[in-house]
Every structure is written in C-alpha cells, then in structure tokens.
C-alpha cells in the first residue's frame, strides 16, 4: 500500500508536470514575442494566443506551492527561505509579467507597448530559467543543516550544472511555446514559427545531452533507481528526436505533443531520482529532507487527499472546456482585447 | 532595524498593499455580475455598456490583485520559515485548497469572460462572471480560515513540537471565521459598490453620459447601504467575540489599562501614553463599551494590566500588550469610516429618489472622495486585527519573534524590501493612471472595442 506522504510526493510531481506543460508553453510564447514577432500586430497576436489561459496556467504554480506547504511544511520552509533571493527574482518576473499582459494594450503609444513588451519577455524568460536552477541544485544538493535550514553561498545556487539546468528548462519551454504557436496562428507567422522550431530543436537536444552528462558527474541520477531513470532519460531523448521528425514533416500537433511529453518525462525523471528525498543535503545524507521527515501528519494528509481528489476532476474539466472555447487560431482580425 | 523588524515591515506592507486590491476585486466582481445580469435579463444595452466599462476597471484592478497575491503564497516560507514549520500541517491546507478551489475558478472563468463575449451564449457568459465572483468568495473564505487559526487556534494538537491538524471541520467552523468572513465580505462589497457610485458621481458631475451613470450610481448606493448595515452588524458580532477570544486586543483597542467600571463607558477619543500605561485625556460615552462587549448595559471589561498579569502566569514572563495607540486608532478610523459610508449612501439614495442628484454638486464631489473611505477602513481593520494580536503570530502558541526565518540575512531582506516597494510604487502609479484614463474615456470606447470583432468561426474553413 502506498503511504499518504508518498502519494503526496506523486501529486506534487503531477502539479509540476502540469505547471511546466501548461505554463511552459506560455513562458515560451512570452519569450517568442521578442524572437519571432516582427511588429506590434504580430506581438499582439502572440500574446492573444495565451490571453485566456496564462493566468489559470500560473495557478498550477500557486497550487504546487500550496500543496508543498500543506503536505510537506519543512520542504516549503527550507526551500523558500533557502532560495530567498532567487524567489525574489521569480516574484518580480511573475508580477511584472502578469500586469504587463493586462496593461500593455491599455494605452495607444508605441513607447508604452515597448516597455511592457520587455517586461513580458524578461518575465517569461526568468522563471523557467530560475526553476531550472532551483530543481537542478536541489538534486545536486544544498547545504542543509541539522535544523533543516539552508545557509548557502553563491556557488551553491549558481554553478555550471545549475546554469545548464536553467538553460535547458528555458529551451524546453521555448520550443514547446513555439510549437503551441504553430497550432494557434496562421499564415506567415505560422510558417516562421515552424522554421524557428526546426532551428531550436538542435540546441534543445545539445543542452539535454550536456545536462545528462553533467548529471552523471554532479548527482546520483544514474545510481539511484537506475532501472527507472535510465529508461526515462532515453525516452526523453526519443521524444525530442520524434519532435524533430514531426517538425520536419510539419505535423504541428504531434510535434507539440512530443515536446509536452518530453517536459513531462523530464519532470518525472527529476522526481524519480529525488524520491524519497524532497531536498538533498550536501552536508550529509542524514540531513536530507524526505517525504517521511518533512511531511504533515496522517490526518492532515488524509483531509487534503479527499479534498484534492474531489476537486481536481472539476478543475481539469473546466480548464479543458476553456481550451475548447478558444480552440480557434488567432489572427489580426481577433485583436479585440 | 533587525531582521525581525524588516521581515515584519515587509510582510505588513506587502499584505496591506495586496489588500487594497482584493476587496475591490470581490466587490467589483459582484457589481459587474449584477450589471451583466440586468443586461441579460432586461435586454437593455445600457447595462451592457456599464458592464464593459466597469469590467475594464475590474480587470485592471484584478490583475494587480492577483500578482501581489503571488508574494503572499510564497513569503510565509521565505520570511517565516519557523512559523511555516510549526503550523504548516494546519495552515497549509486552507492555502492549498484556496488555490485548488478558488484560484483556478477565478482565473479560468475570468479568461473565458474576457475573451468570450462573442463566442458564448449570453447566459453562459453571464455564468462565467458569477463564477468569478463565487471564486473570489471561496478565496476569501479559505484565506480567512487560515487567518482565523492565527487569531484563535482550533482543531489541532501539539505533536513533536508542531501544531498538527486533528479536526478539519473545527478549522472551517472556527468561531473567529464565522464572524470574520461576513465582516470582510461586507467590507469588500462596500468597497466595490462605493467605487461604482463614486465613479458614476464623477461622470454625472462632468455631465457625461448622465442618464447611464445615474443607473450605476443607484445600484452602487443600494449595494453600499446594504453592505454598510452588514458591516455594522458583523462588526458588532466580531467585537463581542473578541471579548471571549482575545480580550487583550479588545482592551488595547479601547485603550483600557485598568479594568473598566461597571457599566463600562466607551472612549471616543483619548491621548494614550503607552510608556507610562495611562491615558492623559479621555472623552467617554457611558454604557457603550458594555453594550459593544456584551450587548447589554452592564458588565465590566478587563484592562490590559490585569490581562498582562494573567498572561504572565499562563505563558511566562514577557510583554503581552500589543502596540496600544495603533490598535486604538485603527479601530476608530475603521468604525468612523464605516459610519460615514452608511450615512452617505442613505443621503445618495434620498437625493436620487427625489431626482435632485444632478443639482447636488457638493454631494457628488463628496461621493468621489468617498471612494477612498472603504480602502482606509479595510486597511485600518486589518491593522487592528493583526497588530492587536501581537506579540503572537498564533495566539497563545507562537510569538512573532520565534516565527522568523533564521537563515535569511539582513542584506537579503533589504534587497527584497527595496525591490517589492519599488515595484509596488510603480504598479500603484500605473494603476491610478489607467483608472483615470479609462474613466475619462467613458463607455463608448469599451463597446466599439469588442464589437469590431468578427465571427471567428466563419474563418475556420479557410485555414484548414
């Protein structure tokens, strides 16, 4: 029988998969506004493709945060206080990005729009990068002391491995977002999105390979549960090779499905390698935070399990409905908001 | 300033700032939903224009409310990690449920509402905004359930030095929550409705689209009056409950050092010297405090000195008196603002009923000023609630000084505080600028904006 705290580890992993699958493409679209759009109209089209969705996608992050707080209070406390400065940057980015979508179109001035465009770009670029840094450094190990507190130096946060991790996650989101655009735009913009995707797939594969190699030296990804992590890593590579194939055949839907699968597998690999740890201590193994020593009591977990299992189907139902309502492609005639 | 003081300053300022937007979002969601209901069921285009006009303002405000709320979700862990470890088992659940139940609902249906004007049946579109409002209510309920635990911890047991939940039902029927939730919601409805009334008053004063905005003005004032009465009653039940749950906060908000006489008089005004624990000057209304505390004209109220001695026996040596002046004055500002709101909405409805509104320039100007009062009252009310709870984060269980993250440095805090303050200042400036711009633009813009939309379904064939 699976224990409740193990189940919650799984649920948190699912929430992060949902987050990176959904918010992943809207981060990617946000980054594309500077890389793909040629003019203001095109930028507005790009923004409108995620207009109805991005806010609900971001709730996956808040829910993941809330779930960690409720199910693993020590994980929540250690991670958020230990990564204080990175989270200040994440918050800055998310705050700026959120209002930029709303404020951008409110004033008819190129300068105004340009300012908010930069906020959207940076606000979409920073979070996936920082989350990449966060998760890779968690897996690599942080100086967690016997009181479960992190007192880290700069190189614990920023090192070759974590930066490669950050870049990789950002590239995965960007490719995913560009492929989302091939599904949501028309004409020239769509063709350019396809061309951009086929260029992007090369750095994506390279960064994934570098990241995998570095993981071998920096973490225990290949030694802990290798019978699961190895096949997972192989399937990540296969997913992206297939994505490359579908991109070249202009099968947009399948390409998008493959990058989505790739993201889901990447998060799964990370969580499989972590389990049962939630944060690795670089000081000594005894100080690791695990699903056992960081979790809430059984009563609280039981309540949360019942509540979540009741609510989640509804949430998924109406989120899917919203994608159904706005299933149409967006072009310049739609720029109403 | 110490790390603790900086952390408190940051939490206080980001929370007060966040809560400027939250009540307006809740209240405006309700007002916009009412306006759209009138449009759909009376088939009156006037209400569609008003829905879109106030809808625009609502969206600008909602965006700022949402993004300033993200900080709230993270900063318990960032700045108050010891607190999070201690209460996470109980406190985390309502936060997680809030995200799952409320945030998803608000954001999904708001997205559909914004972009769905021409894609959905009118009634389905209307349902979306009501679901957004329902989502904001749910959000308020769960976050207040969490807050109520800090005021009056229930449904838990202490295990291995941590608070662990053992009765979820007790947590969501916390007596504190039962009085706090209606009061907060009534305050939010007053905020939204007086905003609508005030903006309408401005347009009437400027003689722009007068007939249309008179309708909005009336609706605003009716809701404001009902909400105002709700505030008064729920506020009273909260004060009564405070006597049982946190008498120290009650005594502080009354500037009561020694036990009161029987019956107890209510101090309207006083000069409080919290160093020497005495009041230099007092203006009292006889009987009133007894009534506020017990709903009868007798009974004495314990003073801070008595309670301090009692708490020292209970919790060990320490200072259990919260900052008295802050608690005392924020209570008076809140209550005073509430009374002015009720009075003004009565006057407004009377003038409107007698068809004298347009000639009452002074009253219209005052109504514009009235927009600010609920914001002042909301902030003052929370300052009283949270400052009055000091020195505790969780009443009787954990002090604020024991709650702070031990590993966050002063430098980090100065950095985050500077960053957030700068960002919030920019946000506030942009928000006010956009509000003024949209209000001046009036309703015509909003409608043209959406109606230039062509049927998106028609093009489908040409794409594939």
Instruction: Give per-residue pLDDT as tens, A205-249.
Output: 999 999 999 999 888 888 888 889 999 999 999 999 999 999 999
**Does B71 share its domain with B199?**
yes
**Cβ contact B111–A308 (<8 Å):** no
Number of domains forming the structure of chain B: 2
Establish if B342 touches chain A: CB-CB under 8 angstroms: no
Question: How far is the alpha carbon of A102 from chain B, nearest alpha carbon, in Å?
Answer: 7
A235 to chain B nearest CA, in Å? 31
DSSP state at residue B438: H
Whose tokens are 């409002």? That residue is B133
pLDDT at residue B446 greater than cutoff 80: no
Task: Locate B383 and state its tokens.
Answer: 């300052």
CA angle (A229, A230, A232) in 5-degree steps: 65
Both B157 and B260 in a single domain?
no
Both B354 and B366 in one domain: the answer is yes
B200 and B335 co-located in one domain: yes
Contact (CB<8Å) B92/A297? no
- Tell me the pTM: 0.91
Closest Cβ–Cβ partner in B79, B88, B162 for A70: B88
Q: What angle do CA B39, B45, B46 make, to 5 degrees?
A: 90
Residue after which a domain boundary falls, among B316, B346, B374: B316
Render pLDDT for A288-303 as a digit per residue (tens, 0 to 9): 999 999 999 999 999 9
Q: B230 and B256: one domain?
A: no
Q: Which residues of A touch B98 (CB under 8 A)?
A: 66
* Residue A1 CB coordination number (10 Å): 4
Phi, psi of B321 (to 5 degrees): -90, 120
The shortest CB-CB distance from B103 to any of A53, A59, A150 is to: A59
Instruction: Clarify whether residues B287 and B362 are in a common domain.
Output: no
Determine phi and psi for A251, rounding to 5 degrees.
-95, 85
A322·B108 Cβ contact <8 A: yes
What is the token pair recorded at A143? 């100086």
Alpha-carbon span A204 to A169, nearest angstrom: 9
A-chain residues near B408 (CB < 8 A): 81, 84
Collapsing DSSP to helix, strand or coil, A6 comes out as helix
Q: Which pLDDT value is given to residue A120?
A: 95
Domain ranges of chain A: 4-320
State yes or no: pLDDT of A89 exceeds 90: yes
User: Do residue B255 and residue B285 come from a single domain?
Assistant: yes
Min CA distance, B320 vs chain A (Å)? 27
Give the integer Cα–Cα distance in Å for B425 and B432.
11
Length of chain A, in residues: 337
Sequence-separated (6 or more) residues with CB below 8 Å from residue B113: B125, B128, B129, B132
pLDDT value at residue B394? 94
| Host H or E run for residue A39 | none
Q: Cβ contact (<8 Å) for A150 and B407?
A: yes
Helix H or strand E segment including A120: helix A110-140
Domain that holds residue B307: 247-316
Q: Both B43 and B85 in a single domain?
A: yes
Q: Which two structure tokens, joined as six digits, stand for A219?
A: 């973490």
**Distance from C-alpha of A80 to C-alpha of A297, rounded to nearest angstrom:** 21
Pairing between β-strand B156-159 and β-strand B162-165 as defined by DSSP bridges: antiparallel
CA distance B60 to chain A (A): 7
Q: How far is CA A175 from the centre of its chain?
A: 12
Q: Which of A82, A148, A325 sits opposite B112 (nearest CB)?
A: A325
Cβ–Cβ gap B111/A55 under 8 Å: yes
Greater confidence, B54 or A323? B54
> From residue B77, how far is each of A86, B67, B103 by CA, in Å?
13, 18, 20
User: Among all residues of chain A, which has the CA nearest to that of B423?
Assistant: A92
Residue B309 tokens, joined: 């001695």
Same domain, B180 and B277: no
Q: Which of B316, B336, B355 is the last residue of a domain?
A: B316
Residue B2: phi and psi, rounded to 5, are -85, 170
Cβ-Cβ contacts under 8 Å for B258 (sequence gap 6 or more): B303, B305, B306
B342 and B290 in one domain? no
CA–CA gap between residue A259 and residue A182 (Å, rounded): 13
Q: What tokens appear for A303 in the block?
A: 């309540």
Chain B partners within 8 Å of A63 (Cβ): 96, 99-100, 103-104
Q: What is the DSSP letter of A287?
A: G
pLDDT digit string, tens, across residues B399-423: 999 999 999 999 999 999 999 999 9
Q: Measured between beta carbons, which residues in chain A are less than 8 angstroms from residue B159?
A: 297
What's chain A's average pLDDT? 92
Structure tokens given for B108: 């999904």
């Amino acid at each position: 029988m699976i224990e409740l705290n193990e189940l919650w580890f799984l649920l948190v992993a699912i929430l992060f998969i949902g987050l990176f699958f959904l918010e992943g493409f809207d981060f990617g679209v946000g980054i594309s506004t500077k890389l793909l759009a040629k003019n203001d109209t095109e930028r507005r089209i790009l923004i409108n493709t995620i207009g109805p969705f991005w806010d609900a996608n971001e709730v996956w992050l808040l829910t993941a945060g809330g779930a960690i707080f409720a199910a693993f209070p020590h994980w929540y406390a250690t991670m958020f206080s230990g990564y204080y400065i990175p989270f200040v940057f994440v918050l800055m980015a998310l705050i700026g990005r959120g209002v930029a979508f709303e404020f951008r179109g409110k004033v008819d001035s190129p300068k105004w729009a340009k300012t908010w465009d930069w906020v959207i770009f940076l606000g979409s670029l920073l979070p996936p990068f920082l989350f990449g840094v966060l998760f890779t450094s968690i897996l690599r190990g942080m100086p967690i002391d016997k009181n479960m507190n992190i007192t880290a130096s700069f190189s614990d946060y920023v090192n070759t491995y974590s930066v490669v991790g950050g870049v990789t996650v950002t590239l995965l989101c960007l490719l995913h977002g560009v492929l989302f655009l091939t599904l949501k735009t028309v004409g020239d913009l769509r063709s350019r999105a396809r061309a951009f995707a086929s260029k992007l797939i090369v750095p994506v594969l390279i960064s994934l390979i570098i990241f995998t190699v570095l993981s071998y030296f920096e973490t225990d990804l290949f030694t802990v549960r290798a019978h699961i992590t190895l096949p997972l890593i192989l399937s990540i590579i296969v997913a992206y090779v297939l994505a490359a194939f579908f991109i070249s055949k202009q099968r947009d839907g399948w390409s998008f499905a493959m990058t989505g699968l790739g993201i889901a597998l990447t998060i799964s690999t990370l969580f499989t390698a972590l389990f049962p740890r939630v944060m690795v201590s670089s000081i000594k193994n005894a100080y690791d935070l695990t699903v056992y020593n960081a979790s809430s009591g059984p009563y609280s977990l039981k309540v949360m399990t019942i509540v979540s299992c009741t609510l989640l189907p509804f949430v998924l139902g109406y989120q899917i409905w919203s994608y159904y309502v706005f299933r149409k492609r967006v072009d310049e005639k739609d720029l109403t908001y | 300033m110490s790390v603790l003081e900086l952390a408190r300053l940051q939490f206080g300022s980001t929370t007060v700032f966040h809560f400027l937007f939250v009540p307006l979002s809740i209240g405006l969601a309700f007002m916009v939903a009412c306006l759209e209901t009138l449009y759909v069921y009376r088939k009156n285009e006037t209400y569609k224009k008003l829905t879109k006009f106030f809808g625009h303002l609502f969206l600008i405000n909602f965006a700022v409310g949402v993004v300033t709320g993200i900080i709230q979700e993270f900063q318990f862990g960032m700045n108050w990690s010891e607190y999070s470890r201690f209460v996470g088992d109980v406190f985390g659940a309502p936060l997680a449920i809030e995200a799952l139940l409320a945030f998803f609902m608000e954001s999904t249906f708001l997205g559909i509402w914004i972009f769905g004007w021409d894609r959905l049946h009118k009634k389905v579109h209307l349902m979306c905004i009501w679901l957004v409002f329902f989502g904001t209510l749910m959000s308020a309920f769960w976050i207040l359930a969490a807050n109520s635990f800090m005021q009056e911890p229930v449904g838990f047991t202490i295990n291995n030095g941590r608070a662990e939940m053992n009765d979820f039902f007790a947590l969501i029927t916390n007596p504190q929550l039962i009085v706090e939730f209606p009061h907060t919601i009534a305050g939010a409805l007053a905020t939204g409705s007086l905003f609508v009334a005030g903006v309408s008053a401005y347009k009437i004063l400027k003689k722009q689209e007068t007939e249309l905005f008179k309708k909005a003005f009336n609706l605003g004032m009716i809701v404001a009056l009902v909400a105002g009465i709700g505030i008064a009653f729920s506020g009273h039940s909260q004060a009564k409950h405070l006597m049982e749950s946190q008498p120290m906060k009650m005594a502080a908000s009354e500037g009561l050092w020694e036990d009161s006489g029987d019956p107890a008089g209510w101090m309207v005004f006083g000069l409080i010297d919290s160093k020497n624990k005495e009041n230099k000057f007092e203006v009292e209304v006889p009987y009133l405090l007894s009534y506020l505390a017990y709903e009868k004209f007798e009974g004495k109220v314990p003073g801070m000195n008595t309670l301090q001695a009692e708490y020292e026996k209970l919790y060990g040596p320490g200072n259990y008196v919260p900052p008295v002046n802050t608690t005392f004055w924020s209570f008076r500002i809140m209550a005073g603002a509430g009374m002015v709101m009720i009075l003004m909405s009565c006057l407004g409805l009377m003038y409107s009923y007698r068809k004298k509104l347009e000639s009452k320039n002074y009253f219209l100007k005052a109504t514009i000023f009235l927009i600010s009062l609920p914001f002042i009252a909301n902030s003052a009310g929370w300052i009283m609630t949270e400052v009055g709870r000091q020195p505790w984060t969780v009443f009787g269980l954990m002090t604020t000084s024991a709650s702070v993250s031990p590993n966050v440095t002063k430098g980090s805090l100065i950095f985050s505080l500077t960053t957030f303050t700068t960002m919030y200042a920019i946000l506030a400036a942009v928000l006010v600028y956009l509000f003024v711009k949209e209000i001046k633009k009036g309703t015509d813009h909003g409608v043209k904006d959406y109606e230039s939309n062509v049927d998106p379904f028609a093009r489908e064939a040409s794409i594939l």
